[in-house]
Amino acid sequence: MFENFTHRQIETSGATINLRHGGNGPPVLLLHGHPQTHVMWHKVAPKLAESYTIVCADLRGYGDSAKPPTTPDHEPYSKRAMARDQVEAMRALGFERFAVVGHDRGGRCAYRMALDHPDRIVALSVLDIIPTAEHFQRTDMAFAMGYWHWFFLAQPHPIPERLIASDPDVFYLRRGRSLFDEAALAEYRRCYTNPETIHAMCEDYRAGATIDMRLDEEDQKAGRRIACPVQALWGLKNGLERWYDVLAVWRDWADRVEGHGIDCGHYLAEEAPEETLAALEPFLARAFKG
């Protein structure tokens, strides 16, 4: 797994970021979802590295990246703070401009990066998400029942942390173990059984329900839009397409939007790596040709 990639830990202004990088060509940053680590890209990154320089990073609070102390406003776990980490890490690797692909929570960091650092982002691909504010603004029974964990994890410390810590596997593997490669699953379990990681992941969702929501609403009010090309991919067996017109939602946030559903569940890069690659490769090629 990641045999030809180099492991590094990079000090940014806010956190130490754990990552692996490999390949040659234009730079592409891959960001993982919850409760995973950069290892989730193990089926996709080696193939992309044949044409691109691939960076697979752990978000702050996840994996082996730092877990900074939180504050009452949850700003240290905002997607703005996470995006700042990743921009600084990419700069430390020598990349001022790059494409970013983000799944789940990594997708939220990625679109915030495109909004906050438009001069840095060549292209944005988001996997199985719409913007955070859109979820909360459109909340109904279907979303609340389907994504109940958003509301659970955002509850004040320490209730979610204590309940999850009593049996992390029951909570984090509720969708099933069979979705993941055994080596990847072992890595996820190593990380999500750490009480500091459990707390940091709860802070991620608390930030989502507070400061991230506010930042999205400020962008909506100001009419701020994502400048780069946007690709949205989603799992047809997950809830996103049942609840939303995914491309229509993203077109409220960006002018150049494309994408489609893939016949899998939430974990596109692990459940359907070939189909995910088949979508990513032409999108990235067009973006870098510019």
Considering 58, 85, 104, 212, which one is annotated as catalytic? Answer: 104
Interatomic CA distance for residues 37 and 34, integer angstroms: 8
DSSP 8-state code for residue 151: H
Nearby residues of 28 by Cβ (< 8 Å), 6 or more positions away = 48, 52, 53, 54, 55, 98, 99, 100, 101, 284
Tokens of 218: 């400020």
Number of residues written out for the chain? 290
Q: Which of 5, 11, 13, 3 is nearest to 30 (CA)?
A: 5
Any catalytic annotation for residue 21?
no
What are residue 254's phi and psi, to 5 degrees? Answer: -150, 155
Interatomic CA distance for residues 73 and 207, integer angstroms: 8
Interatomic CA distance for residues 38 and 54, integer angstroms: 11
Peptide bond into 131 cis (omega under 30): no
Is the distance from CB of 232 to CB of 240 less than 8 angstroms? no
DSSP 8-state code for residue 5: P
Interatomic CA distance for residues 276 and 278, integer angstroms: 5
Strands 230-235 and 257-262: parallel
Tokens of 259: 């994408």
Any catalytic annotation for residue 73?
no
Interatomic CA distance for residues 162 and 137, integer angstroms: 29
Considering 34, 103, 135, 266, which one is annotated as catalytic? Answer: 266
Interatomic CA distance for residues 46 and 44, integer angstroms: 6
What are the residue numbers of the active site? 104, 266
